[in-house]
Structure 1
Amino acid sequence: MKLLKFGGTSLANAEKFLCVADIIEKKNKKEQTAVVLSAPAKITNYLVTIIEKKIDNDEILKKINLAENIFIELIKDIKKIQSLFPYENSKEKIQTEFNKLKKIINGVFLIKQCPESIQPIIISRGEILSVIIMKNILKSRNHEVTILNPVENLLSTGSYLDSTVDIKESKKRIKKININQKNIILMPGFIAGNKKGELVVLGRNGSDYSAAVLASCLNAKCCEIWTDVDGVFTADPRIVSNAHLLESISYQEAMELSYFGAKVLHPRTIEPISQFQIPCIIKNTNNIHAKGTLICQKNNSNENFLKGVTHLDNIVMFNISGSCLKDSGKIISRIFSTLARENIEIILITQSSSENKINFCTLKKDVDYIFLTLKKEFKLEIKEGLLNSLNIVKNLAILSVIGSNISEKNNIASKIFSSLGSSKINVLAIAHGSSEHSISVVIKKENLLQGVQNIHNALFFKKKIINVFLIGIGGVGKALLKQILKQEKFLEKKNIKIKLRMIANSKKLLFLNDFITLNNWEENFKKSKEEFNLTILNKILKNTLDSNSVIIDCTSNELLSKQYVHFIKNGFHIVTSNKKANTNSLKYYNEIRTTALKENKKFLYETNVGAGLPVINTLQNLFNTGDYLTSFKGILSGSLSYIFGKLEEGISLSEATKEAQKLGFTEPNPFDDLSGIDVARKLLVLAREIGYAIELKDISIEPILPEKFKNNQNSEEFLIKLQELDLSFTKRVNKARNLGNVLRFVGSIEKNGICSVKIEEINNNNPLYKVKNGENALTFYTNYYKPIPLVLRGYGAGNNVTASGVFSDLLRIIL
């Protein structure tokens, strides 16, 4: 015997009803099958709202007619697909049931209330009609069907709306029924009968529960719960993109997952199958070939002992404190006895004896009732000051990690709290040890999604994921994307995954997903109609909760650089080749670093000085070990390195500049290079890194160009006008050559913090003498490196080396 249960989403329309019939037929060929059916999707909720609506009788009858029409349309559609389906007979049965319902509603309207004994009769119509329709589908396919009446055969105790089945007695009743072994057994879910023979319902997830009960009563070998998901996942896949399907879990693990919010099975459903050790499989009617998840006595899977990260939101915490809690046994006993008497569910409890305080968490829906109940119970203690006023903390959530013997495993708790700490999520309460299968923490509801995602990644995903939002797809940005794509497999071997989430330029943006990837981003970017500006960007970032999220700025946009503090506060690391932030005011420079430290985020800008050269990192490592600078000289511009190298080869200034532009060494307008301001900005970054509190205006710039060149904004006009300087520069180069020297454009930092940028004559003993062709060279004279300086030399311009430096910074986020 196999028990199948189909939920409302599996019976949502004619096609799905017939798909369920196909599954039943297939299963019944192998062994006798019993089937429990829910109401079609949303029908029960619809009937509940009819009870709750305080409207006139005519309007109620209209709503009942609408519900009736849903079923009539359903069987019409079934008839269209399955011609032998007995439409008229089914229609008559549906009309009979709804006529009964209308009479009941008329009676309810007359007495102006709906007694609790009547409510189950109304809200269970959907299940009863599902069975009628399925019986007719199967009979039209020449199957014999036995319908079990749950009111007669499932004896229950409890209230009309939340009963519990007496399995022992129900088993005896069903055993007396002589069911032909060839017959398919159908039973409506959600329904049972009390000792008086009245119809009652089984509360939340009642259909699943009645399926587990019937499986127990029939001694079924297996219970299959068919729903609209492939099985049990390690987290809710709607909020955790890399959640994966579990092959199997134990009854206890399933119980813990359900108790703490996972939409698997209600704990009441697991109790019967656990008691009688009936394996249960969660299956998907939308993907019938998926294996599903097996719930059994012992988890024999080779999977991780961890099973999931789940959550409950809409939680409130009650804080009860006062001197009378010193005698905590009596007071605590009274608190929980009072709540148990009122059937209030307590989810989590923590206690502090030293502070005479006890906290407990419950669902938001019960908060007012609990408050009034406890206030009444402890009226005297509160009046006498022995108990403080009840304090309620709202807008909370409980985040739980579930696994096999989790309390005995090393490092699980530390990973949980480290993950939360890195995201600056405060833990308000902890439950660990009360169950060997779970660790639970109470956090603010606003942090829930980020907490679930971060902890899931930390515990279940071996790969280190970096979520990247790239702004700027000029030469450097495009080169970076090519490098990331090229290194994808190499990084995969190191368990590193770079997920490009967004690519943007100054006008529009593109979101990447499973269909739009790095392989086809350019084509899709051209098609994108998504506008880009700072307002839109901030909205996107506000809704991004993934850990290790990084904004890469490959622009030279000053407005964007002024958003860095805001980005960091919103949980983002920053990697930038844009020098504008580090060369802004000293106040803003310090604010970025203070914020990054406070928020535990990284701000990386290696390419601000030497493109791909490891300048910043090398300096930081030196100074971290106690070294200090005595002086610095460097060629900090790849474009000017190239131009001045060509001058000594006899090429004129204007021609050398044109060549540098063609090779991509210069800015779009070479005036920006020859003005010396770019070198000054790089020198400012270095000086501040070393520890000098200076502004850009404090750096002395000896201009390459006369004052009259400042108004030349057009690149072509500028290059023509530059010819005016060719002769004077040729003379200056020749004069230096006669002395055995060369001209170089050099940035200097003296020990006292004086910074300057100027053209210098360099002799052949100087490390900068042979630096040309676009190379950068930086000479650091420090306490450790003297009299021979530390020299960093290499290409300091070009898209590939700059992109390489950005890429290196990106990987430092997780390394």
Structure 2
Amino acid sequence: MKVLKFGGTSLGSPDNIKKVKAIVTEKSKNSRVVVVASAFSGVTNQLQECSHLAEKGDDQYKTELDKLINRHLEAVQSLLGAKSQSPLMAKVRLVLNEIEDILKGVFLIHELSIKTLDRILGSGEVLSALIINEFFLQEGMKSNLLDPQDFIITDSEFGKANVDMPLTEKKISSYFQHQEAEVLVCPGFVSKDLQGNNTTLGRGGSDYTAALIAAALDAPELEIWTDVNGMMTANPKYVKQAFAIPQINYEEAMELTHFGAKVLYPPSVHPVYKKGIPIYIKNTFEPEAEGTKIHKFPEADSQSIKGISCIENIALFNLSGSSMVGIPYFSHRLFEALAQAKVSVILITQASSEHSICVAIDLEDVKRAKLAIEKAFSFEFKQEMLDPLFIETDLAIVALVSSQLKNQIGLSGKMFSVLGQNGINIKAIAQGSSEKNISAVIDKKQIKKALNTLHESFFLSDLKRVNLFIVGTGNVGKTLIDQLNQQSDYLKDHSQIDLRISGIANSRKMLFDLNGIPFENAVNTLLEKGQKMNLEQFLEDMKDLNLRNSIFIDNTAHEVVANTYSDVLASSISVVTPNKIACTGKYDDYKNLKNLALRYRSHFRFETNVGAGLPVINTLDDLIKSGDEILGIQAVLSGSLNFIFNNYTGEGDSFAEVVKQAQEEGYTEPDPRIDLSGVDVKRKILILLRESGFEMELDDIDTIPFIPEKCMQAENVEQFFESIAQEEAHFKKLVEEANAEGKKLKYVATFENGKANTGLEKIASDRPLYNLEGKDNIVLFNTKRYPEQPLVIKGAGAGAAVTASGIFGDIIRIANAL
């Protein structure tokens, strides 16, 4: 005899019930079938809500009850023909009238006992089975309706009764011997105690009903039909990439169900486990799908972790104090107090020093648990032998489950490492001696991020998703997006990195998309669908999304954006930027950003602050980390200034015309005075010095101006160009003096003997800086390892393409480190 249990979603509508009928018809071709029915989806919750409204004296319960009544009557009308409707309507009305009468009594006396609640809640399954059985009969199936209260016997623990196993098994065996129908329809969840009172088996108890029947009848298998394709690797509500586990053993299944896998009621495994009866988790809406097989000896599987589960709405109680150390029966007193208060402990952890003990419980039990503990240890609290009871709420438990944990080295380390890298703080840890799971208590708001991070690491390690939040879609921003588009497939195939734009913004609009904004039309999509840009709101939305492996990319040159980096890094979101402002403010602020990145396991990368796409900062970082020491630096760090002085000869175009050309080709800022003042170069050398370990401020660097002061004081850019045009003789003289000495003009940043300066220099032909062409940059590092012949880094130092490639490189370096 086959035992099939159908969940509430499988019976959620008349159309769904027809799908159930098709499955049962197929299964009953070669064997008799027991169909265990849950209540229609949502009905048990509706009954509970009606009960509590009635208890409060709120006559709104009548409205809710009417909805429930109408739903069942409409199901009868939809499923059955006119001839069959009247008899069934009478039976359904009988059950509904009883519920109505009980609720009316609750409403009048404002009292709802657990015993009464059991009687009300069990009605959902009774109605469901009644309707299904009549539908089967109408469809020509040889079906019979069973009453589980005739054979499932429990104690009187109303709400979640304990089954009398020997008596129940005996009664099931005897009861089913007299059943001859091909299909036997049985309500789940409901039972009776020895005094004949209605009891229930706990929420999800229909699975338990099916398991009890299957075990007592020695059924070849138990099938649980639901709305998913099996037991999932993680909760699909949070993890879109979760998939069905093909097979799993009983112990792993019990661990997953204990830690929140809703597809199976935890006690259901035990009865069939003892008999070695396999359980199949199947999808009513995709009956051809393989599903999950739960059995005793699953075949060897290369996947050591079977699933990642979670329990929401957890509270953590921490009892600590010196009086606990070495005191016998202390733990016994704690757990006895909780047991007497009927508080279930989900997780336990205790310090080896015995100074503290931590327990996790359901959030609903907090008040009862607090009163029970304070009463049990009232003397110790009064005498200050114990610290005040510390309670944390709004927590959750995430757990890795596998029966192979004890045979796998490094799984715990990997779990905590990936959580830490994504800024997920762990409040408590537990791993049982049987090593079936590793559990960690975290903030509830971190559930989605934690589950996705762990799922990606343990199940999808060949493809790492990185979520990008891009601010700034000018020349550099657009070029970066083009490069991302061009290389995204390559990175997936060769580096297993899946880059996605999850948020994008410019000065006018901002847009978020959890599924990723397509690279090929990201800017157009932003303009078409984006909402009004608000930087504060953008950052809040980015943090609220709480996505794993998040990188904030600032392509602007705005101080207001740079000032947000500390908040972003402290949210465990990495920062990549060509914006030099953050690294060239006060030294303490710069150092704080570096420290925040270390503390919150985020990354702060700004390679493009110096030399655009040139590997200047990365090379410097490698030198310092390997123990080298910077003795001196000579560098041409402005691609725009180098372009200007390579193209201005004093004979062709005027200085103003060459500067205008540099502006039009994108080598200078929109206001060229920023470049010509040398402040940009000053910032770059400051960054190199700070990265070298020197605590310097911007004012510590001397700057020798070469632009007349009156030009720099022009009211706007247009007047500035007019002013430098009038000073052509001054610029021509600078070039002529250099030419006369056989030298070239270069704007140079220098660090030597602990002092730094920037300014225009005449460079002789025997120096490496002399042959620097176009917009190229060059950096010479004299170090202890390179005392005479400096380490030279040379190449294009300006332009959208090379700057974007430098940002891209920083993104990849972070992705590889995640």
TM-score between both structures, scaled by the size of structure 2: 0.91
Number of the residue aligned with 2:45: 45
In structure 2, the residue matched to 1:36 is 36
Flag the 1:85–1:790 CA change in 2: closer, same or farther, 3 A. Answer: farther
Partner of 1:190: 189
Hey, what does 2:234 align to over in structure 1?
Answer: 235
Give 2:120's aligned residue.
Answer: 122
CA contact (8 A) 1:408 1:436 kept: no
Paired letter, 1:16: N
CA deviations over 1:575-604 (Å, ceiling 9, x no partner): 111111112233322222232233333211
SS in 1 for 2:610: helix
1:782 aligns with 2:783: yes
Matched residue, 2:759 = 757
Q: CA deviation at 1:171?
A: 4.2
Identity across the alignment (%):
34
- Map of 1:18 onto structure 2: 18
1:735-756 deviations in Å (ceiling 9; x for gaps): 4323322222222223231312
Q: Report Cα offsets for 1:467-517 as digits up to 9, x if no partner.
A: 221111222222222222322233222222323221221221222444742
Task: Give the C-alpha shift of residue 77 in structure 1.
Answer: 4.2
1:306 Cα deviation after fit: 0.7
For residues 763 and 117 of structure 1, do their structure 2 counterparts lie closer, same or farther at Cα, with a shift above 3 Å needed?
A: closer
Q: How many residues align?
A: 809
Residue in structure 1 matched with residue 391 of structure 2 by the alignment: 393
Taking the TM superposition and a 5 Å limit, the aligned residue runs for 1:237-386 are 237-300=236-299, 302-312=301-311, 313-319=313-319, 321=321, 323=323, 326-328=326-328, 330-337=329-336, 339-340=338-339, 343-352=342-351, 354-355=353-354, 357-377=356-376
**Contact 2:322–2:386 (CA<8 Å) still a contact in 1?**
yes
Cα 1:226–1:530 shift into 2, 3 Å: farther
Q: Alpha carbons of 1:316 and 1:792: their partners in 2 closer, same or farther (altered >3 Å)?
A: closer
Letter in 2 for 1:683: I
- Residue 618 of structure 1 is matched in structure 2 by 619
Task: Give 3-state SS (helix, strand or coil) of 2:622's partner.
Answer: helix
Query: Could you say which residue in structure 1 is the equivalent of 2:437?
Result: 438
Q: Which moved more, 1:143-152 or 1:218-227?
A: 218-227
Q: Aligned-pair RMSD on alpha carbons?
A: 3.0
In 2, Cα distance between equivalents of 1:465 and 1:515: 11
Distance 1:608 1:515 in 2: 28
Measured in 1, the distance between the counterparts of 2:83 and 2:694 equals 87
Shift, 1:197, TM fit: 3.8
Q: Distance in 2 between matches of 1:179 and 1:649?
A: 112
Deviates more, 1:520-529 or 1:474-483: 520-529
Q: CA deviation at 1:403?
A: 0.8
Most deviating of 111-120 and 562-571: 111-120
Write out aligned runs for 1:631-710 (5 A). Answer: 631-648=632-649, 650-652=651-653, 653-710=655-712
Structure 1 residue 798, shift from structure 2 partner? 1.3
Give distance in 1, aligned partners of 2:410 and 2:105. 62
Q: What is residue 91 of structure 2 aligned with on the other side? A: 93
Q: Distance in 2 between matches of 1:107 and 1:702?
A: 93
Question: Contact between 2:304 and 2:408, CA under 8 Å: does it hold in 1?
Answer: no
Alignment CA distance shift 1:761-1:429 (3 Å): closer
Output the CA distance in 1 between the equivalents of 2:440 and 2:606: 37
Which amino acid is the alignment partner of residue 781 of structure 1?
N
Residue 145 of structure 1 and its aligned partner are, at CA, apart by: 0.9
Amino acid at match of 2:314: N
SS at match of 1:503: strand
Deviation at 1:19, TM superposition (A): 2.7
Q: Are 1:411 and 2:413 counterparts?
A: no
Determine helix, strand or coil for the equivalent of 1:401: strand
Task: Tell me the amino acid that sits aligned with residue 144 of structure 1.
Answer: K
Specify whether residues 588 and 101 from structure 1 end up closer, same or farther in structure 2 by C-alpha distance, changes over 3 A only: closer
Relative distance call for 1:621 and 1:78 in structure 2 (3 A) is: same
Write the distance in 1 (CA, Å) between the matches of 2:657 and 2:379.
Answer: 95
Q: Where do residues 772-811 of structure 1 align in structure 2 (5 Å cutoff)?
A: 772-811=773-812
Secondary structure at 2:28's aligned position in 1? helix
- Pick closer, same or farther for the CA change 1:178–1:631 going to 2, 3 Å: closer
Q: 2:658 is aligned with what amino acid?
A: A
Question: What amino acid is aligned across from residue 243 of structure 1 in structure 2?
Answer: A
How far has the Cα of 1:416 moved from its partner?
Answer: 2.5
Distance (Å, rounded) in 2 between the aligned partners of 1:621 and 1:119:
69
Cα 1:723–1:179, aligned 2, differ >3 Å: closer, same or farther? farther
Q: Which residue of 1 aligns with 2:469?
A: 469
Cα distance in 2 for residues equivalent to 1:673 and 1:108: 81
Q: Judge which range, 762-771 or 749-758, deviates more.
A: 749-758
Q: Letter of the 1:284 partner, please give it.
A: N
Asked if the contact 1:321–1:358 (Cα under 8 Å) also holds between the matched residues in 2, the reply is: no
Distance between the aligned counterparts of 1:777 and 1:209, measured in 2? Answer: 74
After superposition, residues 711-790 of structure 1 pair within 5 angstroms as 712=714, 718-719=720-721, 722-758=724-760, 760-790=761-791
Mapped contact 2:745–2:763 kept (Cα < 8 A): yes
Bigger shift: 42-51 or 107-116? 107-116
1:480 maps to 2:514: no
Tell me, yes or no, if the aligned pair for 1:743 and 1:761 is still in contact at 8 Å: yes
Q: Which residue of 2 aligns with 1:532?
A: 533
Q: Distance in 2 between matches of 1:569 and 1:636?
A: 31
SS in 1 for 2:119: helix
CA contact (8 A) 2:747 2:758 kept: no
Per-residue deviation, residues 166-221 of structure 1 (Å, max 9, x unmatched): 45444444444456766222111111233344432111211111121222233332
**Cα distance between partner residues in 2 of 1:106 and 1:435:** 51
**Deviation at residue 693 of structure 1 after TM alignment:** 3.6
The answer to whether the Cα contact below 8 Å between 1:606 and 1:616 also exists between their aligned partners in 2 is yes
Who is 1:590 aligned against? 591
Give 1:731 deviation, angstroms.
4.5
Deviations for 1:541-596, whole angstroms, at most 9, x for unmatched residues? 33143343211111111110011111111111111111111122333222222322
CA separation of 1:517/1:168 partners in 2, compared to 1, >3 Å: closer, same or farther? farther
Question: What corresponds to 1:568 in structure 2?
Answer: 569
Flag the 1:71–1:791 CA change in 2: closer, same or farther, 3 A: same
CA contact 2:503–2:510 (8 Å) conserved in 1 = yes
Give secondary structure in 1 for the equivalent of 2:552.
strand
Unaligned segments of structure 1, at least 5 residues: none
Greater alpha carbon shift after TM alignment, 602-611 vs 451-460: 451-460
Higher deviation after alignment, 434-443 or 556-565: 434-443
Offset, 1:352: 4.5
The whole-number CA distance in structure 1 between the counterparts of 2:161 and 2:72 is: 28
Rounded Cα–Cα distance in structure 2 between residues aligned with 1:419 and 1:406: 17
For residues 692 and 318 of structure 1, what CA distance do their matches in structure 2 show? Answer: 45
Q: CA deviation at 1:235?
A: 2.2
Distance, in Å, in 1 between the alignment partners of 2:729 and 2:524 is 48
Matched, 1:6 2:6: yes
Find the residue that maps to 1:369 and give its secondary structure. helix
**2:495 alignment partner AA:** K
Q: 1:741 to 1:7 in 2, by over 3 A?
A: same
Measure the CA separation in 2 of the matches of 1:510 and 1:190.
47
Provide structure 2 residue ranges, at least 5 long, that are not aligned to the other structure: none
User: Which shifted more, 567-576 or 425-434?
Assistant: 425-434
